[in-house]
Every structure is written in C-alpha cells, then in structure tokens.
Chain A
Amino acid sequence: MTRGQRLKIYVIILLIIIPVFLSGCWDSIQLDKLSIVSGLGWDINLDTGDVTLTYQSIVPSQIKSTSSTSGSGEQKGGGALNTIQLDHSTGSSPYDALSRYTQHGSRIPYYRHTQVFIFGKDGAEQGIYPFIDTVARNPAGRPNILMAVSEKKASDILGVQNGMESIQAIGMAEEIKLSAAFSKYPEVTFLEFANRLMSKTTAPIAPMIGIFLETGPDGKKIQKIRITGTAVFKGDSMIGQLNERESSGLLWAINKIKKGFVMIPEASLEIVRAKSKIVPELQDDKIEITIEIDEESNLIEYKGRKDLTADIVQELEKGQAKEIKSQVMAAVEKSFSLDADVFGFGDAVHRKYKNEWKNLKPMWDEVYPNIKVVVKVKTHLNEIGDVNKALMKK
C-alpha cells in the first residue's frame, strides 16, 4: 500500500469516527425527551414553609396547530391552552422542588429557554435568596431572564393564557419589555436584580403582575394578566410596592425612560428622548442629591382649543416639567417611607465620595430618609404634529 493510499484510509476512518464525538455521547440531548420550561413560578406555603415551583413547559407539537389559525385574529380559545403545560412540585427548598420533576413529567426540564421568573407575593416577602443562589450557580440560569412578582400566587399567573402569543411566558416577557419600552414599569433582568442585591444599600425592584377579568369577544369572561406596579425589596424580601405614578417617577430618576407619554391637564405629550443624572453632594455629613432630567417630547394631544403660539409651547414645557417632577417626588417619598434606596443614591455617593462612604455605608438605613432631594427638569417640545391651529375654537 502506498503512503497516499494509507493516508486516504486514515482520513476516511477519522471522518467516520469524528461525528460520533460531535454530538457528545454522554451529553446528547434529544428534543423529544425535553420539556422546555418557559416560565418558572415560586410560591411559599406560609404554614409549612414548603416551596412550590410551577413550571410552564412548551408542548412543541401544539404550537404548529395554533399558528395555522392565527390568521383569523380572534381570541384563541381552547387551542392555545394546549401549547403550555403547568406542573407543580413542592419541596423544602428550591432545588428540592426542582428535583421532583420526575413526579409529574415524562421529560427532563430544560431551563435554557426560560423567559421569566415569577415570585408569589407571600414567597417574595419571605425572602427569595435561595432561589437567586440556585439561578446564579446553575449554568442553565441565564442573566437575561426577567424577574417579576405576582400579586397573589405565581401558579395562577402562569396559568392564564395570553391572547396574542401562543406561549404564555413569552407573551408575559414581551409585555414586561413593552411596558419598560413605554416607560411605565421597570424591566428587571436577573443580572440587574442580583447586582442590586449585591450592593448592600440599593434595593432590588421587580415589576408586579396581576390578573384581571375581562369580557372577551364571545361574551365570556376570560382572565388576562396585566402589570400593576413595582415591587420593592429590601435585601431579598419584598417590603412594599410602587404604584403606576411612582413607578414612572422611579424610571425618570434612574435614566430608564425610553418612549412613553407625559399627561398634563391641557395636553398629552410623547416622549422622544430623556436622560437623567443623579448628582450627589456631600457637605458636613449632610447629603443632598440632585436629579437632573433632560427631556424632549412631541405634542400629540392638545385639549386647549387654542391656536398654538410660542407662549403656549412654553407653558406646556413648564407643565411637563411640573408633572415629571411630581412623579419623581412621589417615588422619592414612597421610597423614603419604605426606607429602601431604589434609586441607587447610595451607589452614587459611593462612586463620588469613596472615602466618606466607608462611614456612611453602615448607617445608610438611618441616613437615607433624611436625604434632601432636589429635582431639576429641563423639557423641550420638539414637534407639534400636523396641525398648528385649533380645529374648534372655544
């Protein structure tokens, strides 16, 4: 056999052997042996301290059948319910509950596509640290997963079907992201939550989700989920919440305003761009924080029935500034009353006053409610829309 022929034989042998290794003998994962968990819910039974985990898993075969009917545009009925499957398992700790999936499923749970973690209100008030630790430690826990708190129990939220999306958890995640894009409620990923947890002074936050009854097009009452507030944590336990106005104020202060609307008595304006900065000042142990907000907006609704002049535009700008300022102050007041630094004032002071921070940090709980907060808002009205005169005068 010549050398060339021998080489060819070796190459062929290699080509046959290599694909065997590529799929991974020990680690080969077959799709039909997996249950892809799209949402995970966490509840604590107050009496026994047991943790109940709710898995929302995707049934891949059902998704195809519903997408073929999506063209009809009506509320999906029973078909969509089959795309997901809810399972519960209970145990004394998060991983104990996770490990009991064999009790209710025929497949191994696969967490790499999880969209959202939901915590029941009772569970959140007890403290969610064991869960956070599991997610951070487990390689399947991605930093992008959204966190949310449910008003009552997480298992209820995960059972509500969503109208538009065939997979409920994806719909919920998109709803959270949409509300964050429109600057109503914050969107908190696991990484952001964990970072706030690690900073010993900043309070973690998460959007709150509740269930509402609505009448569907066919007259029957159906459940829908809606984002209703922002949960505020101290450490890993929930201590309170911010309502819609306060949540907006919080977003203004921490520079998370993207699109959205500002409503003032005479007009409604659409936010084009907004930037905010938190500037701390430390003088003789007294902390003063200035929140500087810069905002640009367009006019989309004017109820004044007058022709628009430069003076009116200025008035609108002043009105906007007042409204934004009051939203932020509402958030500040609420956070003072909860004694939870949701804005990250502590971190801002730490960044600027490195040496004094060592003394301030242990006393932050007492220092925080006494901080003087000054809000400076600069607004600018860009466009007034297609018309500049009133359609109907007073």
Chain B
Amino acid sequence: MIALFMIGSAMLALWPIPGLVRKRWWKELICFAVLWSMGFIFSVMLSMRINLPPITTIINKYITGMFGI
C-alpha cells in the first residue's frame, strides 16, 4: 500500500517539475515542493493508519464549548 502511494506521489511530482525547472520558476517550485511534501507525509501517515487529529470535531468542540449550545 505504501509502495503504491510512493509511486503515485512520485508520478505526481514528475508531472510539473521538469517544466518548472526548465522555466526557472523557483518560487513556484518551492510552493509546489512544500505542498507536495505535506501531502506525501499525510498520505503516508493515513496509509499506515496513524490517526490524524479530526479537525472538524475539534473546531466543533471549541465552538459548542464557547457558546454552550
């Protein structure tokens, strides 16, 4: 499963990177790299079944706590 993710993410990265490097768009490359690595890390965590914090539930707890509904 993780291998599948790695191959998929690598393919995803392979698509725009040559174009960006050729055009020397460094800022876009950095943005892409940052976002891509975030996605990579999270998807690997998901496939290893590590529980990422459920964001919406946390927000809900804060709001109902604050307003006491």
- Asked if A and B touch directly (CB within 8 angstroms), the answer is no
A residues with CB within 8 A of B: none
